[in-house]
């Protein structure tokens, strides 16, 4: 996993967006974590089984294993631990014992799977946007919902009509044709996360 900032808490544990969305938003997420580290907030971005540098093939990824791995990382980090999740990453932290959750544009598993299937139908391929995902994983994700118990803050982008604690300007990088960052958006998000962590501490 990538590790930023001090070795003592508070610590942000990041849950990246899923599969291809994660590739498109990784630069944004890493920039946010670096900005938090510069403010004295530790951060960790784990590679879950079947993602990035993991030795597990993508086709062998399973939601239950992702959730267990994420919870195991949370248990090892210095506390208090705060989850920061992008999009479908909000489906991964249900088993993690953490102080709070902060979600950017969280999406239900059913909505995520519908989007994957639409993209696959348009492309005429057997995979999902270049990712070989087992149907058992797809079915498990389709039934999953973001965790809403405990302290939770939801941030969405302007133009997204769904309920949120705050809407911020920015482009939905998970829909970009190529991976890219957004320094202005990263700054706004890092400031919001830092303020949220401080509020949770009072």
Which parts of the chain are beta strand (E)? Answer: 2-4, 11-15, 42-45, 81-86, 100-104, 152-157, 166-168
- Residue ranges of domains in the chain: 2-108+147-201
- Is residue 116 within 8 Å of 128, Cβ to Cβ? yes
Task: Tell me if the pTM is above 0.75.
Answer: yes
Q: Which residues, other chains included, contact 166 with Cβ-Cβ below 8 Å and sequence gap of 6+?
A: 153, 155, 156, 192
What pLDDT is stored for residue 177 in this prediction?
84
Please tell me the CATH code under which domain 2-108+147-201 is placed.
Answer: 3.40.50.1820
Residue pLDDT, tens place only, 165-195: 999 999 999 999 888 899 999 999 999 999 9
What pLDDT is stored for residue 99 in this prediction?
98
**Per-residue pLDDT of the chain in tens (202 residues, 90 and over written 9):** 999 999 998 999 999 999 999 999 999 999 999 999 999 999 999 999 988 888 899 999 999 999 999 999 999 999 999 999 999 999 999 999 999 999 999 999 999 999 888 887 877 676 777 788 999 999 999 999 999 999 999 999 999 999 999 999 999 999 998 888 999 999 999 999 999 999 999 8
Query: Helix (H, G, I), strand (E, B), or coil: what is residue 4?
Result: strand
């Amino acid at each position: 996993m990538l590790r930023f900032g001090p070795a003592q808490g508070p610590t942000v544990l990041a849950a990246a967006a899923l599969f291809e969305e994660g590739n498109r938003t990784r630069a944004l997420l890493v920039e946010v974590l670096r900005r938090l580290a510069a403010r004295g907030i530790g951060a960790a971005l784990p590679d879950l089984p079947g993602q990035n540098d993991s030795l597990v093939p993508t086709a062998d990824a399973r939601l239950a294993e992702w959730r267990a791995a994420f919870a195991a990382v949370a248990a090892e980090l210095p506390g208090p631990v705060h989850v920061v999740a992008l999009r479908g990453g909000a489906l991964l932290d249900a088993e993690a014992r953490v102080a709070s959750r902060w979600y950017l544009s969280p999406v239900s598993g059913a909505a995520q799977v519908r989007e994957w299937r639409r993209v696959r139908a348009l492309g005429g391929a057997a995979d999902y946007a270049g990712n070989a995902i087992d149907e058992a994983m797809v079915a498990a994700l389709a039934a999953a919902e973001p965790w809403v118990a405990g302290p939770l803050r939801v941030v969405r982008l302007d133009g997204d009509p769904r309920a949120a604690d705050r809407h911020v300007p920015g482009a939905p990088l998970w829909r970009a044709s190529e991976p890219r960052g957004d320094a202005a958006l990263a700054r706004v998000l890092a400031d919001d996360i830092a303020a949220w962590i401080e509020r949770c501490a009072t």
